[in-house]
Structure 1
Amino acid sequence: AAAYRELISYFPSSVLARESRAVLARFEAQLRNRPADVMISRNSAEQKVHESPGSLRLTNVRNFSGPDYARVVIDLSDEARYVERRTGNRLSIQLGSAAVTSSLYGRRFIVGNGTLLKRIVVSDGAVMQTPAQGTVQVDIEVGSLSSYSTFRLSEPERIVIDLHAAGSIAKPHTREASPIATPRSEIPARSVAAKAEAREAQPRTRNLSAADRNASMALPEITDPILPQPRASSPEAAAEALAAKVDAKAAQASIKRIVIDPGHGGHDTGTISPGGMREKDLVLDVARRLRAYIKNHYPDIEVIMTRDTDRFVALEERTAIANSRHADLFISVHANASPSRAASGVETFFLSPDRAPAEDLQAAARENARLAVNKTGEKAEPVFASVTVGNRVAESRELARYIQAGLVRGIGAQSPRTAMNRGVKHAPFVVLLGAAMPSVLAEVSFLSNPKDEALLQTGQFRERVAASLFAGLNGYLKKNRASEQKGEQKAK
């Protein structure tokens, strides 16, 4: 709400101000007769427990909700132990030795009409009349809860809860059915500014010849993915083969919606090259070009961007956008960095419950926040193993192999050193956590390498990178459609 009021104060006679007033009026009408969602006892408020030095504070509750999926994020000031309890369509998260920050007192949390999420209520132990002192409880009410998962993230500390409605997995695609998930802890100002930002949304292909703009036509057709070196028989290899069989049937489903995720944005610049190129700007440009390739070659596929302008999007929101829109694929685009200016090459990641090498864990830590651990020396992987099931690991691995093949062979045709094959890898990238579809993260070059940076300064090479990403994706889509046709023939 504060963001809208600020827009009105700065531009009182503008179109943005008029739209801001309309949004504020709409939400005021929605909340007018509703009780507060943050209920704190008078005793707690008077004692100002939240001001105690070193005390754990609940600082905010954010939500991203669609018709049959919702993600709730509980923001905390420090590491917290919590207990979760489900009662019918209500999920309760109880925090011990905690308090609610005073800025939330009396807050009403906005949830979208017609979404799975119905209400979020925060209360302390005194209001709940529990014997435990210093207890805070978050109650999440949904329309029809089928399943849920929770995990903790650090830097900053938060608890993430994914909720799914009954029958949501089998829901068919409809473009009108699922609005983009929107953060609701505060009234979002993004929709108001969307018109002003729209002119920035088109791919930038200035000063490029027709041959450059159609760079994909000159790239090798990707008919086979990059495969790892053959491994000896092992439990891991057997598990991978089994997962591939489990995912094989799902892979025959038609791909109608793809989410492209340009990394970073807004105040989060990502990697900055020696010459000042910012990762957030590079990957947004490449993502726009990739979108254009998909739309041109597959007009029946809807393409959704997690951000289409230079704005910050929380890691949790990116996955929520893909889940709430029932995306079939999720592709996150990033650029790499290394302390060594000689480091070069491309690599593609997917999420897997298997342990990742230390180098790949460092890559995940650099791009995203880190996974929380419960005590010193505890391994991070068990924290997210339970939320990788929906990622369809075998399909994500296959998609990563095709994308990597496109990058190596496409970029390599112009600059073999820049396209050195660093492999298909798995690491706990937060942006991939909880994605309910095949999902990958592509590191398309090294901004820390001066020679790579010089290439990336040109629109021609950026077009080459986007075309290479599309070449790999195109190979995967053709394989998918061939599998779909075989499935239809067998059904007949």
Structure 2
Amino acid sequence: MKKALKNVSFVFLLLKMCIVFGQETSTQKRIVIDVGHGGKDSGAIGINGIQEKDIALNIANAILKLNNESDTPLDIYLTRYNDTLISLSNRTKLARALKADLFVSLHSNHSDNPNTRGIEIYVAPSKSEYSEQSVWFAYQLQNQIKKQLGFESRGVKFANFQVLRDTIEYCSSILFEIGFLSNLDEKSYFTNDTNVTMLAHTLLIFLIHADL
């Protein structure tokens, strides 16, 4: 990033999905946003005690709010809607139950070096019919975040994270590390509501134009 940067329970949600599928006639694409960590799992802890789980939830809720206010909202679901710990396997089971077209896992980073900064986007190294599209989405999102918000990029990378490994067989999936909470500039960015809204808007526009 440049210095000047331009619960519903899991079971209840699955029951709700059964009702939705029973009434569904639309072919609208379905997106699952995986809100990293939660509950007793704080994730990365940054400057002044800022927690990764809270940043991920703030961004996800901002995306959901903007989407719900849209004239033509996307079919978006979160893996958690409050500060609740959902297991990695249940996160991917939800995506499978929803028959998701795209799975986006939101996280933020940490480093012992306070000068480390920038975004990272991961895709699964295993191959499937969705691998090429996942890589394409990762590069497209990287470019949008750099162009619209001025974040530096540390690149698109491959990693065998469980949420990617367990979703790549049936949908496109990416894991987005949105900056470093150990970096003062990036930590400050995420504690500003206007910045969070701008980031959420950029992510939503990316999702709207994703060719699923």
Normalised by the size of structure 1, how large is the TM-score? Answer: 0.37
Structure having the higher helix fraction is: 2
**Structure 1 residue 177: Cα displacement:** 4.1
CA 1:422–1:471 in structure 2 vs 1: closer, same or farther (change >3 Å)? farther
**Structure 1 residue 319: Cα displacement:** 0.6
Q: Which amino acid aligns with 1:443?
A: E
Residue number among 397, 401, 404 corresponding to 2:135 in the alignment: 397
Residue number among 330, 342, 351 corresponding to 2:103 in the alignment: 330
1:298, 1:399 → 2: CA distance?
24
Residues 350 and 396, structure 1, Cα contact 8 Å, conserved in 2? yes
Is 1:411 the counterpart of 2:149? The answer is: yes
2:144, 2:208 → 1: CA distance?
9
Is 1:267 the counterpart of 2:35? The answer is: no
1:348 corresponding residue in structure 2: 121
2:142, 2:35 → 1: CA distance?
17
Q: Deviations over 1:238-293 (max 9, x none)?
A: xxxxxxxxxxxxxxxx6521111110000000001121111101110101111233
Runs of 4+, deviation exceeding 4 Å: none
2:205, 2:94 → 1: CA distance?
25
Residue number among 458, 468, 475 corresponding to 2:202 in the alignment: 468
Pairing 1:57-96 to 2, within 5 Å after superposition: none
Residues 261 and 331, structure 1, Cα contact 8 Å, conserved in 2? yes
2:200, 2:180 → 1: CA distance?
15
Is 1:279 the counterpart of 2:52? The answer is: yes
Residue number among 437, 441, 449 corresponding to 2:183 in the alignment: 449
2:165 corresponding residue in structure 1: 433
Q: Which amino acid aligns with 1:320?
A: K
1:208 corresponding residue in structure 2: none
1:335, 1:300 → 2: CA distance?
26
Deviating more after overlay: 297-306 vs 280-289: 297-306
Is 1:175 the counterpart of 2:17? The answer is: no
Residues 432 and 439, structure 1, Cα contact 8 Å, conserved in 2? yes
Residues 67 and 73, structure 2, Cα contact 8 Å, conserved in 1? no
Report the number of matched residues: 193
1:235 corresponding residue in structure 2: none
**Structure 1 residue 429: Cα displacement:** 1.1
CA 1:300–1:284 in structure 2 vs 1: closer, same or farther (change >3 Å)? closer
Q: Which amino acid aligns with 2:149?
A: I
Residues 107 and 177, structure 2, Cα contact 8 Å, conserved in 1? yes
2:31, 2:72 → 1: CA distance?
12
2:67, 2:141 → 1: CA distance?
14
Which structure's CA Rg is the greater one?
1
CA RMSD of aligned residues (A): 2.4
**Structure 1 residue 300: Cα displacement:** 5.3
Q: Deviations over 1:191-226 (max 9, x none)?
A: xxxxxxxxxxxxxxxxxxxxxxxxxxxxxxxxxxxx
Residue number among 62, 65, 78 corresponding to 1:292 in the alignment: 65
1:400, 1:428 → 2: CA distance?
15
2:109, 2:182 → 1: CA distance?
7
1:272, 1:329 → 2: CA distance?
28
1:260, 1:300 → 2: CA distance?
15
Residues 62 and 200, structure 2, Cα contact 8 Å, conserved in 1? yes
Q: Which amino acid aligns with 1:427?
A: A
**Structure 1 residue 338: Cα displacement:** 1.1
Pairing 1:114-263 to 2, within 5 Å after superposition: 175-177=20-22, 255-263=28-36
Q: Which amino acid aligns with 2:138?
A: A
Alignment gaps of 5+ in structure 1 = 1-63, 68-111, 116-173, 179-253, 354-387, 413-418, 481-492
**Structure 1 residue 410: Cα displacement:** 1.9
